[in-house]
Amino acid sequence: MRCKEVSSGGKIFVGRYRSTLLGDIFAVSSAVALREVRIGGVPDVFFEEVCAAYGYNGREDVCDGGPVLDRLFSLFDLYFSGTPVEFDVEVEPRGTEFEKRVWSVLRTIPFGSVRSYGWVARMAGSPAGARAVGMACARNRLPLVIPCHRVVAASGGLGGFSLGLDVKRALLGIEGVSTLDRRPSGQI
């Protein structure tokens, strides 16, 4: 497929990963870094939104696959099989400086572990910012790679999740976190 390079951001790559658990997962990257992951949706709508968001005229100007997405999808294969993985792909998240600090902290939470919103706030340099952490999680455009599903309430409750609590439970289940009806162990 033809790949158009534009002054606003270079080449853009898109791909679709088919997950039994979550359905279609769409991803967008530059030649060097992941920009967006979307779980669920309609392929044509996704491509239209990507073209609009990144300044492309149509699907013919977007590249299929690419090295970043190839790496990401091989990591998804491992993740969905229950293998502990670190999503070690370069990312280019779009957000405020606070959101970027929060997302950076989230990437340090290991597979199979959870941390509280308050813990993340402290690590991001805003000890009183637990609610703001929840908002940053809701604005995360790189779910799984930036694992906001690993953030729970200090009481041990699930808290919220933009994709729904059933998806959050399923992702935590993949990672061996089976129940959160008591205070989780670890650095919460």
| pLDDT tens digits, 21-69 | 999 999 999 889 999 999 988 877 887 887 777 776 655 556 777 899 9
Range of the domain at 57: 13-80
Instruction: Tell me: do 66 and 102 sit in the same domain.
Output: no
pLDDT of residue 181: 45
pLDDT reported for residue 184: 45
Q: Is the pLDDT of residue 165 over 60?
A: yes
**170 domain-assigned:** yes
Domains in the chain, number: 2
- In this structure, the chain runs to a length of 188
Same domain, 69 and 111: no
- Residue closest to 85 by CA, chosen among 44, 130, 145: 145
Question: 3-state DSSP call for residue 12?
Answer: coil
Residues paired with residue 25 on neighbouring β-strands, in sequence order = 17, 39
**Of 45-54, 90-99, 162-171, the least confident:** 45-54
In a domain, 35, yes or no: yes
The answer to whether position 4 is within a domain reads: no
| Contact of 6 with 56, CB cutoff 8 Å | yes
pLDDT at 155: 86
Told to judge if 148 belongs to the known catalytic residues of this protein, a careful annotator would answer yes
Nearest to 151 by CA among 182, 181, 107: 107
Residue of 51, 63, 137, 148 marked active site? 148
pTM assigned to the model: 0.86
37 & 101 share domain: no
Mean pLDDT of the 2-14 span: 60
89 found inside a domain: no
Cross-strand bridge partners of residue 38: 26
d(CA 175, CA 111): 6
Contact 47, 14 (CB under 8 A): yes
Residues 6+ apart with CB under 8 A from 27: 14, 15, 16, 17, 34, 36, 37, 38, 69, 72, 73
Which one is predicted more confidently, 149 or 31? Answer: 149
Task: Give domain status of residue 92, yes or no.
Answer: no
Mean pLDDT of 2-10: 50
